[in-house]
Structures are given as structure tokens and as C-alpha cells.
Amino acid sequence: MEALMTFIFGSWGSDIAKTLWILLKIIAVVLPLMLSVAYLTYFERKVIGYMQVRIGPNRVGYHGLLQPIADALKLLFKEIILPTASNKILFFLAPVLAIAPAFAAWAVIPFDLNLVIADIDASLLYIIAMTSIAVYGVIIAGWASNSKYAFLGSLRSAAQIVSYEIAMGFTLVGVLMCANSLNLGKIVIGQVGGFWHWYVWPLFPLFIIYFISAVAETNRAPFDVAEGESEIVAGFHVEYSGMAFAIFFLAEYANMILVSMLAALMFLGGWLSPIPFIPDSFLWLLIKVAFLLFCFLWFRATFPRYRYDQIMRLGWKIFIPITILWIVFIGGMMQTSWGYLFH
Amino acid sequence: MIEFKDFVFYALSFVLVASGLSVITSRNPVTAALSLVLAFFNAAGIWLLLQAEFLAIVLVLVYVGAVMVLFLFVVMMLDINLDKLREGFWDYLPMAGFIGLLMMVEMVLVFKTKEFNLSPVDDSLKSISNTEVIGNTLYSTYVLPFELASVVLLIAIVSAIALTLRDRKDSKKINSSDQINIKRQDRVRLVAMKSEEKYVKSKTKDRK
Amino acid sequence: MNELIQFDLSLIMPEIFVLSMAMVVLMTDLFIKPSSRWIIYSLSQLTLLGSTYLTGKDFAEETQFAFSNMFVRDGLADFLKMISYLGISLTFLYSRSYMKDRGLYRGEYFALVLFALLGMMIMISSHNMLLVYMGLELLSLCLYSITALDRDNQKATESAIKYFVLGALASGLLLYGMSMIYGATSSLDIGIISTTLFNHPTDHSILVLGLVFVLAGLAFKLGAVPFQMWVPDVYEGAPSSIAMLISSVPKLAAFAITIRLLADGLQSMIIDWKEMLLIMAVLSISIGNITAIAQKNIKRMYAYSTISHIGFILFGVMSGSLNGYASSLFYVASYMLMTLVSFAILMIMSNKNFECELIEDFKGLNKRSPWYAFLMLIVMLSMAGIPPTIGFYAKFMVLQAALEAGFVGFVIYAVMMVLVGMFYYLRIVKLMYFDEPKVKGKIEASLDVQWVLSLNALSLLIIGLVPYTFMEATTQAISLSLN
């Protein structure tokens, strides 16, 4: 392939070949991801349905299995309405900005030993950076729509995401202290040797905080004040219809899968099997992620929505102090003879 | 023929400069802020080209992910009247332009003929993880200024709170722990009362 | 490795102590009632006492470096730090009732002042341009926000904004200049810069351009002409207690970095900075003294008098000799003592409903309180430079050093300007002693303030009579640290 490219493009050939190869890898990750997003919505409707003693979608296809496809087609054919006096460029830029970081972060996620698109040293930092810019989509969508509800939603979400990002960042500091590395692959390898070696145990408070912050970061119930159907209609994407809305939807679910994936990698040993004599496999990762995603849905079906000031209080006054204290505690313990427990 | 790397560099630089210009020329403050975000992104890209991945990611994380979000937050909420801010622009332009030009000529004169006495970056550093290298230098050679920088940030927080926090008298804030710790006895009081009829009777008596 | 860190930490002990205590003050304030703020006050004074002990315990006899030569502890540093502790302690004491009356007696005030002190200590001890800048920012940020602490006062807020905007600009200039010096010498370490420039005189024009920017930044922080515009506005707008803080101790730190950067780092460029300093010094003395005459507001008058004092301090620095630096050090220390008293009297004369601001408010002070009038008399004589006060001696030393360096004409000019300056200082004396009081009523102050203020003012007289020990201390401090 490289030789062919060199033949066609001259000295740029090898670079272009490399780029194409990377593109192929990206498609190999993104396509299944899109598919899992689609079936996550189905899963959600089914799970919540059963929790509320309903059946959920069951008309399209066998047990409603074609429902997500039908939804996607419906959204594709709907008209995208541009509100009057809205900022046209930004209005269409917003969904793109929402989905791009949600996909871009997947570049450094290892699915198995050495099975990763880009094995960079600071992959954890890269992921934090990518998740932190996801908020732009929400803010810009709210502002560009020229609507009160959308604007309120975007302001809420901006404040919320920025606040919880701090707590989330601090929990990751705990992980990298234990793993001595910022590379996700090395973090997983650091947990090798059975489920009692997973970082979830020494970092239990951080794990809980990470997961709750992740729920808040992805704007999911019970922290979904940015949408707040009962107060501000649908929040930041109230003016969006058709495919533009679908992209926001897609981004939200892609982000959910991403944060669950991260939690599985950092705290639950990634692709490692819980018991040493069973072989490690990608399937373990899938099971862990699926369980965490189920928790997301479970929360949604169980908890009432938090009030806005309660969310802020939880983030700033409870999570951040606890994470800082726990990091200091770990740092202290690592200096003592008990330090091996934290590695 | 230029190399692929050079091409990427020029592309990034072009967008960087263009978005930088858009920051200062755009009429809409939100567009200006977003252009700044774009500029940061391109700067991060250039850093990546130089293999300074840590700096690039941190630039995105801190400036794009946190600082500019808050900035945008404020800009969107304030209804800034730019025309008022631009008032007097043309009056000041000759003087400001003159000083700016003077400075530029001076700088060009100084920088044109002479070379800076700086050695290029050691190539051997590129093979080591640069997060680690930065961490090591930051916590050994530069530990004192680094710690002082954190004090500066602390001062910024303290001053910001000291200058803006006011206790609102009409605040409807609720203490959550009080709210949760509430017991039935605190809200409901069972009162032993005498029977209704007598009560009514005594009332009517009082009226008379 | 561990021993090295321990050595580094032992040198920086006073700074660590001040920092931790500032945080203790900050935290304690959260848990006490507003009525028991005396705890905060005593904690702050204890901090200063403790740091005095820590600095005095191993007062540097020789120059010691720490943190990869960034931090220096030498005679100059310890001497200036001791004086700074004294200055901050007096500031706390004098401003106590004034701040209470205006509702500014809050924990943040004390914490921010302590953080500012930390910044000054870092500036005083810095031996690296990075650290100079960090210390400067630490100090400046605290000062900006303290100026605006009285946030419902429009004047204070306005002056804080002016101070902030101009200060940020000056910091930028300083940083820009430093970057050029770094570009020319490829080091931020003041010692290395000094030796590099001495051994290989490099690219001159970059260095001179860098020097111009550095000097502009320094001149702003000192308040020398032509970067003096902020001084009168900030003094006038800020509450008196805060104007007192801004005018007194930070000048010591600014002096310290001036000495470190010019007399140590850029020693080889003395010909270049000598001329620039000369222009600034002469202009400061003229503009300061002449403009002060026209002022009706006493705080503005103090501001212009500060500018002229800075001119004299620069006179000593530009003479470029150890003697000159020592006399400048003497001047800046004695200036701090004078300015503290001058503002303290202003605050004592103010009360809850009255802000002593105009020169006219001093009318007939002698009839209201002969003792305070006498103290004010000492300060005014000292500021004017009339023997036998400390002010005379300071001016004398500085001008003598300049004379030795060959600036005969400028020294004569400076003496003439001193004569001009006497006019406005003596006008205050005339108002106090020969005019009828405009407002009646006694002037009250708590006992400790009375005593300390009297001691402080009398020290101006006493050191003026026997300046030799003080002078010797400054000479020793300078000669110990600048080889």
C-alpha cells in the first residue's frame, strides 16, 4: 500500500498512506460505536420500561429490535428548522462540536493489549482535554438558537460541566498516582492479577465520585438540568430538529459509553479478567462497560432530578474536598510501609 | 517540494493567524471568543508538531476546556454594546498607531541584525516522555516558582471572593443537611385538645 | 538529596512560616464571630513576631543560595526583611481602629497583607528573574485587591482599577525586558547573567532594549517619573490605611529588586542604566516637589512627596558605588518610618464619620492636641530634610554619594528642589501651629497606638541625632551581599 501511494503521490506518499491507514482504523472504531449508541437507546427504553412495569418498544422488528433504525431513518428525513434571528453558522456548528470530541476521545482508548489507534503517553490527559471541550457544543447550541430556554439550558450545563470536571480531574489524579503513568494501557496493566488488584478498592471513594461526576458530565438524569424537560422544555437543544437533534442525541450516548469505558479501564481492570486463571479478553471490557451503562439507566429510572443549587453544592462542597483529601491520603500512605496496597 | 510536516505547519499557522485576527476584528464578542478558542487549538496543533504533546494537551485542557468556557459564559450573559466600546477609536488611532509603529521599527532594528544567544532544544529529550521531563524539572529546579504560582492562584481566589461575595438578605438558600436531618417531631406537633363541643361553647361565651 | 532539601528549606523558613500563618488566618476567620476579630489581629502580629525570630535566629552573615540558586539569603535580604516585618506590624497596629470604623476589619485584609508580605520577602530574596516576577505578582495582586477592599466606595474601586490596569502593563513591560535579557544571555539567573555579561560582552542593542523595559517596569513599581501617574490617584482613592501600606513597605521590596537586577545582574551595563536613572531621578524630584505645592488633598500631597523621595533613592542607586547603594538603602528604610507616621496621624485624626483628607483639616492641630502636632512636626521636618532628623541625614548621604560619583550639577539642582519642597511641608506646620482649628473635638487613640506612634516618630529624631549604628547596618548589609 505504501509503495502504491509513493508511486502516486511522490514524496508525500508514505504520509498519505499512513493517514489513510489511520482513517481505516478510525472507521473500525466509530462504526461499531455508532451501532452501540443506537442499541443503547433501545436498551435504555427496554430497561426503563421493565423497571416501570411496561414492555417498551416491541413493534418494529423482532421484540422491537429494529426500533433504533426506524428512529434514525425518521430523524434523517425530518426537516431541520432554523429559528429566526439565530446565528446560522454557529447553529450548525454546535452539533458538530458536540459530537467531534465525543468521538475524538476514542482515539486513545485501548480495547485490548496494544489494540489502540494512538498509543500516546499522555492519553489520560488527552481524554480529559477532549471531554472538557464537549461543553462547547452545548453552550453554542444554547446561544445560537436565540431562545430563552435554550440559553438557560446552556448556561446551566456550562456551569455544571466545568464544576464536575474539576472533581473528575482530581479522581484521575488518584488513578495516575497509583499507576505511575498517564497511559491508559499501562494503567490497565498496573491492575493485573485478579479483581483484588483493581484500583477500585484503594480508590473506592474516587471511583464513586468519578462515576457520579461522569453522570453529571454527560448531562444524564438525575443531573439533567441542562435539558430539564419539565422546567425549560428541552434545554439547549429545544430549537433543534431532525438530524441536528439526532447528532446531539448521538453525542450524549457516545459520551456515556466513553465515560463508562474509562471507568472500566481505570478502576475495574479494563480487559483483564477478575480471576487470574480465566483468560483476559475484550469481552470482559464489554461486560464491565455494559454493567456501568446499565447503572446509568438505573439511575435515570430511580432518582428524581436534582435541583440546580444542589448540584453545585454537591460538586464544589462535597466532591472536590473529598477527592483532594483522598489524594493527600494516598500520597501519604504511599510513603509508609502500607504503600504496596496502593500500587 | 515542501514536506508534509511543513505543509501541516503552514496550514495550522495560517488558521492561527487568521483566527487571531478575527478575535480582534469581529463585531460580535461571542464570535471573537470562539475565534480565540480556534486559535488555541491551532497553537496546540503546532506544539504537537514539535512533539511537545504535554503542553499541547494542557493548552487545550486549561484554556479551551476551562478558561474560555467561563469566558464565553460571561460574554454571553453580558449584553456588551461594542459600539460604545469602539467610541473614540479613530481619535486615539493616530497616537496609538504612531507609538505602535515606533515600537515595531525599534524591535525590527534590534532583532534584524543580531542573533539571540539561545541554543536549540536538545534532540535527545524527544525520545523521553515529555510529561515526565516537565514533571521532573518542575518539581526539582523550578519547585519554588511553581509553588509560588499556586500561592498567586490562591490569592486570586481569595481576592475574587473578598471583592464580590455579599450576603444576600433575600436569599432562599436551604441547608441541605438540615433538610435531610429533619424528623417528624420537628414539623408535626401532636397537641392534646379538649373535645370540640366544649371548645366551641367557651368561644361563644367569650364573645358575649 | 534529602540534606540538600533540608538546607534549602531551612533557608526559606521565614517565608514558609508567613505563608502557613496567612492560611491559618484565612481559615480561622471562617470560624470566629466578627466580634472576636482581635484573634485574627493577634495571630497576624504573632506571625510577624515569629518570622522576625526566624529571620533573626540565623541572620545571614554570608551569602547563601537555595533552590538551584533562585533564592538568596544574604545581609541585604535579612536586613530588608526585618524592616518589612516592622513596617507591616506597624501598619496593622495603626490601621486597626480606622479599618474597624469602616467595616474593613476582616480576615481577608490580614491574610492578603500577609500574602503581600510573602511576595515582598520573595522579591527581596530573589536571585532569579523568574522569582523576581513571581514575587512581584504576588505582591501586586494583593495590593490591587486590598485597594478595592472597600468595594462600596466608588473612589477606592476606581483607583484599584487604575492601579490594576497600569500595574499589569508595567508587569508586562518588566517581563518583556526580562525575556530580552534572557534571549541575550540565555539565563534567568542573576548571577549567571552578571558573569556572562562580564566575560563576553554580547549583543548590545537587545540588552539595552531589554534594560529599557526592565527599568520602565521597576520605575512603575517604585513610582518614579515618568511612570508616576498611578501614585496620586491610588493614594487619594484608597482608604488611608491601605494607602499607608502601598506607600511604605513595598518600596523596600522594589528597591531590593532594583539593586538585584541593576547593581548585580546588569552590573556591566552601568553606563547605560546610569543615564536612564539620572533622568528619572531628576524628573521625579522636580515633578514631585513642584506638583506637591499645588495639592489641596493631603494624601495627594504625600503621593507627590513620595515621588520626590523616590527620586532621591534613585540618586543613590545611580551613583553606582557601594556607598551609594548603602545610602539609598538607608534612605528607603527611613522613608518607610516617616511615611508610616505621616499616614498614622492622618488615620488618628479621622473617625467613623470624618475622613481627614484635606490639608485644611490640619488647621490648629496644636490647639486640639499638642502632642500629635509635635509628632507631625517631626515627620514634616524629617520629610523636608531639616536637621537633626533622619530625613536630613538620609538626603545628605544620598547626595554625598552622588557627589562622589561626579554628578555635581545635579546635586546642586536636587538641593534647590529640596528647598522648594520645604514650602509644602512647612505649610502644614504653619497650619498646625498658627491657624485656628476648623473642627473642634479631641483626638483619641488607643493606648498602644499612642505609645508606638510616639516611639516611631521620636525614632525619626533619635536616629537623626545618632545615625551611625543604623548607617553602619545598611553599609554592612550592602557590602555583605554585593561582594
CB spacing of C149 vs B162 below 8 angstroms: yes
Q: How far apart are CA B147 and CA B151, in angstroms?
A: 7
- Sign of the CA dihedral running C470, C471, C472, C475: positive
Mean pLDDT of A36-48: 87
* Residue B122 pLDDT: 62
- Structural domain total, chain C: 1
* Residue C116 pLDDT: 94
Q: Could you say which of B1, B4, B57 has the minimum Cβ distance to residue A126?
A: B57
CB spacing of C138 vs B148 below 8 angstroms: yes
CB spacing of C206 vs B114 below 8 angstroms: yes
A187-196, A270-279, B194-203, C185-194: segment of lowest average pLDDT: B194-203
Chains C and A, touching by 3 or more CB pairs within 8 angstroms: no
Q: Is pLDDT of A38 > 60?
A: yes
Nearest CA in chain B to A131: B65
Residue with cell 422546567: A231
Residue C322 C-alpha, separation from nearest chain B C-alpha, in angstroms: 30
* Residue C126 pLDDT: 92
Burial of A229 (0-12, 13-18, 19+ CB in 10 A): exposed
* Residue A54 pLDDT: 87
**Which of the following CATH numbers is that of domain B1-81: 3.40.50.1820, 3.40.920.10, 2.60.40.2130, 1.20.120.1200?**
1.20.120.1200
Q: How far apart are CA B122 and CA B206, in angstroms?
A: 101
Closest CA to A242 of A73, A17, A21: A73
Q: How far apart are CA A336 and CA A93, in angstroms?
A: 52
Q: Taking a C-beta distance cutoff of 8 angstroms, is the pair C301, C431 a contact?
A: no
pLDDT tier at A155 (50, 70, 90 boundaries)? confident
* Residue A10 pLDDT: 63
Q: How far apart are CA C305 and CA C244, in angstroms?
A: 13
ω into A321 cis (within 30 of 0): no
Closest CA to C454 of C336, C306, C344: C344
Amino acid, res. C16: I
Residues 6+ positions from B19 with CB-CB distance below 8 Å: B35, B36, B38, B39, B42
- The alpha-helical segments, DSSP class H, found in chain A are 2-9, 13-51, 67-77, 88-104, 123-133, 135-144, 148-179, 184-189, 204-217, 229-232, 242-267, 282-302, 308-313, 320-335
- The alpha-helical segments, DSSP class H, found in C129-261 are 129-147, 154-185, 190-199, 204-222, 230-237, 240-247, 249-258
Domain ranges for chain B: 1-81, 137-168
Residue C252 has phi, psi (to 5 degrees) of -60, -45
A window 173-232, beta carbon within 8 A of B: 182
Residue A66 has phi, psi (to 5 degrees) of -90, 0
Q: Taking a C-beta distance cutoff of 8 angstroms, is the pair C315, C299 a contact?
A: no
Amino acid, res. C464: G
Closest CA to C408 of C397, C399, C398: C399
A window 313-332, beta carbon within 8 A of B: 313
Q: List, for chain C, all residue ranges whose pLDDT scores fall below the cut of 50.
A: none
Q: How far apart are CA C52 and CA C408, in angstroms?
A: 41
Q: Could you say which of A121, A126, A309 has the minimum Cβ distance to residue B129?
A: A121
- pLDDT tens for C287-305 read 999 999 988 899 999 999 9
Residue B200 C-alpha, separation from nearest chain A C-alpha, in angstroms: 45
Residue B184 C-alpha, separation from nearest chain A C-alpha, in angstroms: 22
- Find chain B residues with C-beta within 8 A of C134's C-beta: 145, 148-149, 152
Q: ipTM value, please give it.
A: 0.89
| Range of the structural domain that residue C402 is part of | 2-482
* Residue C438 pLDDT: 79
Cell of C404: 562622589
Q: Quick one: how far is CA C324 from the chain centroid?
A: 18
- Sign of the CA dihedral running A19, A22, A23, A24: positive
pLDDT > 70: percent of chain A:
93
Give the H or E element holding residue C367: helix C365-368
Kindly report the length of chain A.
343
Q: Could you say which of B1, B3, B30 has the minimum Cβ distance to residue A143?
A: B30
* Residue B129 pLDDT: 72
CB spacing of B53 vs A122 below 8 angstroms: yes
ω into A279 cis (within 30 of 0): no
Q: Quick one: how far is CA B36 from the chain centroid?
A: 12
One digit per residue, pLDDT tens: chain B, 208 residues? 567 778 888 999 999 999 999 988 887 788 888 899 889 989 999 988 887 888 888 888 888 888 888 888 888 877 766 667 777 778 888 888 998 998 888 878 777 665 555 566 666 556 667 778 888 888 888 889 999 999 999 999 999 988 888 777 777 777 777 878 888 888 888 888 777 766 565 555 555 4
Cell of C317: 542607586
- pLDDT tens for A60-103 read 878 888 888 888 888 888 887 777 777 788 888 888 888 888 88
Q: How far apart are CA C240 and CA C123, in angstroms?
A: 25
